Amino acid sequence: MRLKYRVGTMPGPWPVGSGGVEQLWRLVDLCETSGVDSLWFSDRLSSPLHVLEPLTTMAAVAARTHRLKFGPSVIVTPFRSPVLLAREMAMIDYLSGGRMLPAVGIGVEQEGEFRAAGVPFKERGRRTDEAIAIMRRCWAEEAVTFPGEFWQLERITVLPRPVQQPFPLWIGGNSEAAMRRAGRLGDGWIPSFITPERFRVGVEKIQAFAAEAGREVPDDHFGALVYFCFAPDRATGHATAAPFIPRGRVDDETLAQCTAFGPPDVLIERLEEYVRAGGSKFIARPMVPPAMMEEQIARLASEVVPRFHGR
């Protein structure tokens, strides 16, 4: 199998007010006209920063572009009805001519967000598994009947269906449970804040879990979200990125091994480490203030992306 290497980007946070909307369109146009493969949006119910809601934003991006692909990294599945989510993602894929990249997960360890969504925190994993099963059937079958633990369907039909058949569903998360979910239920894996070595182990585990379930995850459906900051040196890059590093999600040792602060060659070598570990699809996210985002993504498009897309 000949692997296809692709690099997308996830911008954010966004400026307050109309400036954020104007910057979104400039970035969308930049990605559409450059070699950037895809544009990704984070999903948070509550955040101190301006985070765009992914589904509505992707629908807007679909209307403005013709080539660019886009996805959520990742949709917090337990917050939503799986039938409604299946319909929304299918509709975006339909309207865009097959450019939607669905990716789901259980969300971050913020119990208050789950209480606000009316979802018991301890049920998030089981709800996600059941939702994945329901969405897959809604995207492929005429009338779905599903007697689940959380949702009960009787001859439910979702139309129009996604253009992509089958609709590839990627799984986020770097825990053992996420790896098991990706092997049993997913078509790909896209974790974040994971070292290349742990990523390598994860790829092996996912294929083993898939084999136990009598299935296989394609070799070119493994990737990672890699945070970066282009700067003259590592110290300057780390200082610029520091305010945007999520507190409590990653320790300093892991952070040093899974981010790329410094010249573009640092990010290229970091991505090469993930390639050697089994990855071929990447989301490069700039950890910078909004005023620096466009320049960082322009450099990503011109100095990093061609090294991988040219393979």
**Could you read off the pLDDT of 207-225 as tens digits, one per residue?**
999 999 999 999 999 999 9
Which of 12 and 159 is assigned the larger pLDDT?
159
> How many other C-beta atoms are found inside a 10 Å radius of the C-beta of residue 289?
13
What pLDDT was estimated at residue 49? Answer: 82
Query: Quick one: pLDDT band at residue 48, thresholds 50, 70, 90?
Result: confident
Mean pLDDT of 109-122: 93
1 assigned to some structural domain? no
What pLDDT was estimated at residue 58? Answer: 98
Q: Give the span between the Cα atoms of 101 and 73, in whole angstroms.
A: 9
Structure tokens at 158: 């979702």
Structure tokens at 188: 């790909």
Judged on CB neighbours under 10 Å (0-12, 13-18, 19+), 95 is: middle
Judged on CB neighbours under 10 Å (0-12, 13-18, 19+), 78 is: buried
pLDDT tens-digit series, residues 254-304 = 999 999 999 999 999 999 999 999 999 999 999 999 999 999 999 999 999
Which of 91 and 108 is assigned the larger pLDDT?
91
What pLDDT was estimated at residue 237? Answer: 97
Query: pTM (2 decimals)?
Result: 0.95
Q: Which domain holds residue 10?
A: 6-309
Residues forming beta bridges with residue 224, ordered by sequence position: 282
87 assigned to some structural domain? yes
- Give exposure, 245-273, as e/b (b: 16+ Cβ within 10 Å): eeeeebeeeebebbbbbbbbebbeebbeb
Query: Quick one: pLDDT band at residue 311, thresholds 50, 70, 90?
Result: confident
What pLDDT was estimated at residue 238? Answer: 95
Query: Quick one: pLDDT band at residue 1, thresholds 50, 70, 90?
Result: low
Q: Give the span between the Cα atoms of 164 and 100, in whole angstroms.
A: 9
242 assigned to some structural domain? yes
67 assigned to some structural domain? yes
What pLDDT was estimated at residue 50? Answer: 87
What pLDDT was estimated at residue 16? Answer: 82
**% of the chain residues with pLDDT over 90:** 90
Q: Helices marked H in the chain — which ranges?
A: 18-33, 54-64, 82-96, 111-116, 124-140, 176-185, 196-212, 234-241, 252-258, 264-276, 290-299, 305-309
What pLDDT was estimated at residue 191? Answer: 97
Asked if pLDDT for residue 248 goes beyond 80, the answer is no
Domains in the chain, number: 1
Q: Give the span between the Cα atoms of 255 and 192, in whole angstroms.
A: 10
251 assigned to some structural domain? yes
188 assigned to some structural domain? yes
Which residue do the tokens 């994971």 mark?
Answer: 194
296 assigned to some structural domain? yes
> For position 62, which CATH number holds?
3.20.20.30
What pLDDT was estimated at residue 153? Answer: 98
Structure tokens at 66: 């013709």
Q: Which of 39, 31, 30 is nearest to 8 (CA)?
A: 39
Q: Give the span between the Cα atoms of 168 and 140, in whole angstroms.
A: 12
CA dihedral over 55, 56, 58, 62, signed as positive or negative: positive
pLDDT tens-digit series, residues 3-42 = 899 999 999 888 888 788 999 999 999 999 999 999 999 9
Q: Give the span between the Cα atoms of 239 and 199, in whole angstroms.
A: 26
11 assigned to some structural domain? yes
Q: Reduced to 3 DSSP states, what percent helix, strand and coil does the chain have, rounded to the nearest 5?
A: 50, 15, 35
